[in-house]
Amino acid sequence: MRKYYLLFFVIGLLLLGCSKKKNTFFDDSSISDTLSTYLKLANDDNVPYVKRLAYNNKAYAILINQDNDSLNRANLFKVANRFFNMNNFDEYQKVSRILVEKSKKDKDTMSAAKAYTYLGDYYTNTSGKDSAFAYYTKAEKLYKKLNDKINLGGIYVNIAILRSLERDYSGSELSAIQALNVLRDTDEKSKIYDAYNILGFISFELKDYDKSIEYHEKALDLANKNTGNDEFHLAATSLNNIGNVYQNQNKHLEAVKKFEEALKDKNLFNDKPVLYATLIDNIAYSKFKLKNDSELPHLFYVSLKIRDSLKLSSGVIFNKLHLSEYYAEKKDTVKSKQFAQEALKLARKTKKNGDILMALKQLGAIDPKRSSIYSDEYIEINDSLQSAERKSKDKFARIEYETDEIIQQKDKLAEQNRNILFFFGLVVMIGILLFVIKNQRSKTKELMLKQAQQKANEDIYNLMLYQQNKIEEGRANEKVRIAQELHDGILGRLFGARLNLDSLNKRQDDEAIVSRNNYLVELKNIEQDIREISHDLNREKHALNNNFIGIVNNLIEQQETVSQAKVSFVVDMEIEWEKIENYIKINLYRILQEALLNINKYAQAENVRIEILKQEKILKLTVTDDGVGFSVSKKSKGIGLQNMLSRAKACEAAFDIKSKIGKGTTITVVFPLEINQK
């Protein structure tokens, strides 16, 4: 139930960008029909709402008929701001769209980016999250083009908020970190504050409470360093957020300290009654959990009265549920049910499923007789919410791929299509454009993947090249040794035998015959020596051809130094590695390396068996361990497994993994060999 407070803050962040600017009040008698006067009065909180709206409409009527220049657009932005502050979102959207067209027509990139941001704010506040993301993305592209770090950081903050509202916490965290990276060298403390608060909220939702407090304390530090007027009471907001984290950890004493410190903020009740009421309710709830009845239930009723006067339906629901918990603890079942049922009725009226779920949960706890009814409804609503959440999980990623050109074509189609034939012609053109863009994106994605794989392959190739150089160095040394043996040994002996035989040819006596026979024996010995040298050379060639196996052996030796598992390695000695393409050897090596890494991390295996066999036109790698295993159907495909699949796919290899809990794991990869691999 307490998640509401942090989420409330996140939603409120967007409102800061279009905040109100207070001006001195002008009496009607002193008003002259000028644009400046209308804009000032439209922004004055002391002027009644109806009159403020009328003044803003008058300013708009003057501006819409003026020339499209930078001053005209600046004043139109002021008009849009005032519509936003008055919650007149329809007019706010209308003016923002006009600003988009005027900015594009005058090629004013800065104003166009700002107008796109305004449209993003509009859709965020009117539940059009898909459209909001699309317009923020357009603004992001333009601010990048302008190298405007401050506004780009603000866009990332808005996108982070948007993603968090859709529970895309990983995407929200990424956008918030992007905001911090962009704003790091700027003086834009307020946007940095917002980014830290979003990160704190995300960590809270992910139950990383220590990290959440760390981020909120960084935000608090920035708020405390703000020497200007804390118009939005950021320090009090951060203290409330830190207190919420403590409250969720059941550290209620620490929570109360933070809430009470926040209440010391001057003018908090007048400037930010919403936060004031939240703090009062938080203090009351923590005191209730501490069984400290001082000022209870009075504090609950104070907060409820403020929220009710501000028509904060979710806040009223929270208060009533807290009162229901309080009276349930006091054994006053009648009041406990009364407040819980009122909360459920209001939640159903506002159609906020999250509030309905909290009310049903509380009623199920205090009304055992109807508990099963409330439980069934709770499960039904919760399942529908989860289903909707799953469907929208990747929608931001999908929207991000849409281009400005497609959206513009659709807008033009909606405006200009008056003729049926022309309409269908445009549809066909857009379809072709979509196909081309989709095809191009696919190629770009494939290229990026290949580049990443190429980088990894280069590392392996460099390793193989290094070892090849070592082998070449050994070959050169061996050649020198053989040359020395031939020159110093065999050639000398041949030369001596030749001279002696030449001199013996002139003699025919018995002694000469015996000597010639001895020299023939010497020639046979020389022949044997030459044969041994030839065998040495053949062994060197075999070692060269098996250089890849040496690399694999090195990998296995490394595995045995970091793991307790015994590794057995079986390789088909008939494989002619010099005929196997380098890309197959590299990817085989990488898959084996990733498999051994996963065994080290997770398998707890005692024995590992690696086999590399050649069967007709295939090369088969099998890695088997007797570790703890896992459920293949339930296991999410992590980065390691994805890498192995990707490398197998790059070689058009068949990849298979079999595992059962407690039965170990077997990975099999079958590489097809080219025709010249026979």
Q: Between residues 608 and 438, which one has the greater pLDDT?
A: 608
Q: Do 538 and 562 lie in a common domain?
A: no
Least confident of 184-198, 221-235, 655-669: 221-235
| 205-229 mean pLDDT | 85
Give the lowest-confidence range in 68-77, 234-243, 263-272. Answer: 263-272
Question: In which band, very low, low, confident or very high, does the pLDDT at 622 lie, cut at 50, 70 and 90?
Answer: very high
Looking at the fold, whether 623 and 646 belong to one and the same domain comes out as yes
What's the whole-number mean pLDDT along residues 126-138? Answer: 83
Is the whole model's pTM more than 0.75, yes or no? Answer: no
Query: CA-CA-CA-CA torsion for 610, 614, 618, 624, nearest 10 degrees?
Result: -10
Alpha-carbon gap, residue 27 to 604, rounded angstroms: 81
pLDDT of res. 486: 62
Query: Span 516-527, mean pLDDT?
Result: 72
Find, among 73, 66, 95, 65, the residue nearest to 82 by Cα.
95
Q: Give yes or no: residues 527 and 584 share one domain.
A: no
Cis peptide before 48 (omega within 30 of 0): no
Which pLDDT score is estimated for 283?
92
Distances (CA, A) of 111 to 15, 123, 407, 495: 20, 19, 19, 96
- pLDDT > 50? residue 16: no
> Out of 168-182, 347-361, 525-539, 580-594, which region has the weakest mean confidence (pLDDT)?
525-539
pLDDT of residue 225: 81
Rounded CA separation 40/23 (Å): 7
Query: Does residue 138 share a domain with residue 38?
Result: yes
Does 351 map to a domain?
no
Instruction: Give me the pLDDT at residue 98, please.
Output: 93
Domain assignment present for residue 377? The answer is no
Task: State yes or no: pLDDT of 666 exceeds 90.
Answer: yes
pLDDT category, 643, cuts 50, 70, 90?
confident
Which of 124-128, 208-212, 467-471, 665-669 comes out lowest in average pLDDT?
467-471
User: What pLDDT sits at residue 496?
Assistant: 66
**Is it the case that residue 531 has pLDDT exceeding 90?**
no
Domain assignment present for 608: yes
Residue that finishes a domain, picked among 500, 518, 545: 545
HSE at residue 560, side-chain half, CA atoms within 13 A, is 12
Domain boundary among 146, 164, 199: 146
Query: Are 123 and 4 members of one domain?
Result: yes
Tens of pLDDT, residues 250-264: 999 999 999 999 998
Please report, in angstroms and rounded to a whole number, the separation of the first and last CA atoms in the chain: 68
Residue 656 maps to a domain: yes
Domain membership of residue 673 (yes or no) is yes
The more confident residue out of 25 and 148 is: 148
- 20: pLDDT confidence band, cut at 50, 70 and 90? very low
Pairing of strands 654-660, 664-672: antiparallel
Residue 395 pLDDT level (bands cut at 50, 70, 90): low
CA 501 to the chain's CA centroid? 86
Quote the strand ranges of 78-118, DSSP E: none
Non-local CB neighbours of 467 within 8 Å, separated by 6+ positions: 547, 550, 551
Are residues 78 and 109 part of one domain?
Answer: yes
Q: Is residue 232 part of a domain?
A: no
Q: Do residues 117 and 82 share a domain?
A: yes
- Weakest mean pLDDT among 3-12, 35-44, 108-117, 569-578: 3-12
Stretch 500-514: mean pLDDT: 70
**E runs forming strands in 96-208:** none
**Residue 502 or residue 633, greater confidence:** 633
Whether residues 459 and 527 share a domain: the answer is: yes
User: Residue 4 maps to which CATH number?
Assistant: 1.25.40.10
Residue 643: inside a domain, yes or no? yes
Residue 537 within a domain: yes
Task: Let me know whether 603 and 541 are in one domain.
Answer: no
pLDDT band at 553 (very low <50, low <70, confident <90, very high): confident
Lowest mean pLDDT among 405-414, 563-572, 613-622: 405-414
Give the model's pLDDT for residue 485: 62
Q: 72 lies in which domain range? A: 1-19+32-146
**Do 592 and 523 belong to one domain?**
no
Partners of residue 622 on adjacent β-strands: 611, 668
* In the predicted structure, residue 377 carries a pLDDT above the cut 50: yes
- The domain boundary residue, chosen from 495, 510, 545: 545
Do 13 and 139 belong together in one domain? yes
Copy the structure tokens of residue 235: 């320090």
For residues 356-367, average pLDDT:
86
- The model's confidence at residue 609, banded by pLDDT at 50, 70 and 90, is very high
Higher pLDDT, 388 or 289: 289
- How would you write 230-287 as a 3-class SS string? CCCCHHHHHHHHHHHHHHHCCCHHHHHHHHHHHHCCCCHHHHCHHHHHHHHHHHHHHH
Cα distances (Å, whole numbers) of residue 481 to 465, 484, 485? 24, 5, 6
- The arithmetic mean of pLDDT across residues 105-119, rounded, is 91
- Tell me the pLDDT band of 12, cut-offs 50, 70 and 90: very low
Residue 32 Cα distances to 27, 71, 235, angstroms: 11, 20, 41
Mean pLDDT of the residues in the chain: 80
| Residue in this structure with the two tokens 């040819």, named with its chain if needed | 505
Residue 385 has pLDDT above 90, yes or no: no
Number of domains in the chain: 3
What pLDDT score does 322 carry?
Answer: 92
Statement to judge: residues 531 and 610 lie in one domain = no
- The stretch 190-215 carries a mean pLDDT of 90
Name the band, by pLDDT with cuts 50, 70 and 90, for residue 494: low
